[in-house]
Amino acid sequence: MNQDALVWCLVAAVAVAVAAALVLNRRNKAIAAKKAQVEATLTQKLSETEGQLAGLWGELQQHKTQHAETIQEAEEAAEESTKAVLKGSARFLQSLAAEQLALLEEIQRKYGGHAVLGDLLEVNHANAQMARKAQGIAVMCGAPLGRRNKAASVYDVVRSAQGQIRNFRRVEIMQQTGFALKASAVSPVALAVAELLDNAASFSQQGSPIEVTFQRVQKNLCIVIDDAGVGMNDEDRQKASALLSGDHRPRLSQLGNQPKFGFPVIGLLAQQYGFRVDVTGISRYGGVRAVVLLPEELWTEEEITPAETPQLSTIHSAPARPESVARTAHGLPRRGARQVPIASVPDHDDTAAPPAAASEETGRAAGRSLGAFQRGTLSGRNLASAPFEGSDDT
């Protein structure tokens, strides 16, 4: 009996368990189905959102590129307008500096005998440096360079450049050559050499020499500038080469607070006028060796006599100046009463061979004027307070 009861109990428990399992199973199935459904909707939503995201990303990129373009355009516009403003000012300064240089030269000649000449020379030096800066800015802004209409010896072109830097006494030009630069090349080469000399002077010790030599290498004429500075490292050299070739043109706004336009200016000039500049060499003092390479289109092999000093030959060949009268046996110029004056200063515009009589007359006039000049000097000295005596143009 007891066994039966146990069996029945077991059966009942199994039945309950089976029923429970059935119920659970059905529930599980329902849950799984729901889960799948939810998963499907979620995936769908995810992919939709991903699509939206991709679209937005694309838009963002587009905006970004547009933004960059706009900034670049704005920068270029700003650069252009800055250049335009600066160009106008630079041209103004340029022409004023040039005018002032011409004026100063005139004044220096006018007061050549006066002590004020010493100060005038210094003013001229300061002005020459200002003119160089103005020219540099003008070149950076794309304005044309002031031009010269006469060919000049390369020696004088370098001397002109020498006068445009502060410590010009340090520059030693080693040899005089028979090479002349064509008129169109005079200004740009002078400015480029001036910038190189300035660089050489700023990056070497005070008082160390800066040597300029000339070399003819095949069809090129080289102006070689050696300094005794510290030299450049490889990075500096690469940067310099890029600037000097004119390929890399920095913006005005990139030049910074203490703008260095030396190399950019040289690069622009070199590209414009067809010469080359290299600063990768090492000078014999261990500093930088800068070489300006001028192709044969820019120079000739003729002798140029400086324009401001007329040829001596016209003085010596003046027909109305026989040596026997002009000088004593000891080679001294003879003074006193004479038919022909010894010092006949030829006029600037004297043509090659003036007629003998006329030149004798001009000679006498010159003699008289010299006499008057001497009397003037003497009477000037007799006055208690010496008047302003420097105004005679000698």
Partner 1 sequence: MKDEPEQDLELTSPLVPLFVITNGRALPPDHAYERTTLVSAHEGASAAARTISPEARQVLDLVMDGFLSVAEVAAHTHLPLGIVRILLAELEESGLVIARKPVPRAERVDRELLNAVLDGLKARFGA
Kindly state the smallest distance separating residue 70's Cβ from partner 1, in Å.
25
Non-local (6+) Cβ contacts of 184 within 8 A are 147, 273, 298
For residues 166 to 195, the per-residue mask of contacts with partner 1, x marking binding by CB under 8 A and - elsewhere, is --xx------x---------xx--x-----
**Closest alpha carbon to 243 in 288, 205, 192:** 192
108 counts as binding partner 1 under rule CB under 8 A = yes
Q: Which is nearer to partner 1, 94 or 204 (CB)?
A: 94
Kindly state the smallest distance separating residue 340's Cβ from partner 1, in Å.
15
Tokens of 59: 């838009």
Cα angle: 354, vertex 346, 333; to 5 degrees: 110
Q: Which is nearer to partner 1, 137 or 240 (CB)?
A: 137
Kindly state the smallest distance separating residue 267's Cβ from partner 1, in Å.
22
Kindly state the smallest distance separating residue 63's Cβ from partner 1, in Å.
36
Q: Which is nearer to partner 1, 108 or 280 (CB)?
A: 108
Kindly state the smallest distance separating residue 285's Cβ from partner 1, in Å.
19
Tokens of 52: 């939206």
118 counts as binding partner 1 under rule CB under 8 A = yes
Position among 42, 85, 353, 356 found at the interface with partner 1 (CB under 8 A): 85
Do 214 and 224 meet the contact criterion of CB atoms below 8 Å apart?
yes
Q: What are phi and psi of 112, to 5 degrees?
A: -60, -30
Q: Which is nearer to partner 1, 327 or 368 (CB)?
A: 327
163 counts as binding partner 1 under rule CB under 8 A = yes
240 counts as binding partner 1 under rule CB under 8 A = no
367 counts as binding partner 1 under rule CB under 8 A = no
Round to whole Å and give the CA distance between 209 and 114: 32
Residue 313 host element (H or E) = helix 313-316
Tokens of 75: 């920068």
Kindly state the smallest distance separating residue 64's Cβ from partner 1, in Å.
35
Position among 128, 154, 189, 290 found at the interface with partner 1 (CB under 8 A): 128
Q: What are phi and psi of 344, to 5 degrees?
A: -105, 105
Do 173 and 212 meet the contact criterion of CB atoms below 8 Å apart?
yes
| Window contacting partner 1 (CB under 8 A); options: 47-55, 101-109, 202-210, 270-278 | 101-109
Is residue 290 exposed (0-12), middle (13-18) or buried (19+ Cβ within 10 Å)? buried
Residue 183 host element (H or E) = helix 183-202
105 counts as binding partner 1 under rule CB under 8 A = yes
147 counts as binding partner 1 under rule CB under 8 A = yes
Kindly state the smallest distance separating residue 289's Cβ from partner 1, in Å.
21
88 counts as binding partner 1 under rule CB under 8 A = yes
Do 294 and 274 meet the contact criterion of CB atoms below 8 Å apart?
no
Kindly state the smallest distance separating residue 110's Cβ from partner 1, in Å.
8
Do 130 and 103 meet the contact criterion of CB atoms below 8 Å apart?
no
Kindly state the smallest distance separating residue 174's Cβ from partner 1, in Å.
8
Q: Which is nearer to partner 1, 202 or 314 (CB)?
A: 314
Position among 87, 133, 237, 364 found at the interface with partner 1 (CB under 8 A): 87
Round to whole Å and give the CA distance between 152 and 73: 44
Cα 391 → chain centroid: 39
Kindly state the smallest distance separating residue 305's Cβ from partner 1, in Å.
9
**Closest alpha carbon to 176 in 144, 213, 141, 224:** 213
DSSP string, 14-71: HHHHHHHHHHHHHHHHHHHHHHHHHHHHHHHHHHHHHHHHHHHHHHHHHHHHHHHHHH
Q: Tell me which residues in 258-317 interact with partner 1 (CB under 8 A).
A: 306-310, 312, 315
Amino acid present at 126:
A
Residues that bind partner 1 (CB under 8 A): 84-85, 87-88, 91, 94-95, 98, 101-102, 104-105, 108-109, 111-115, 117-118, 121-122, 124-125, 128, 143-150, 152, 155-157, 159-160, 162-163, 168-169, 176, 186-187, 190, 306-310, 312, 315, 327, 330-333, 343, 345, 348, 370, 373-374, 377, 381-382, 394
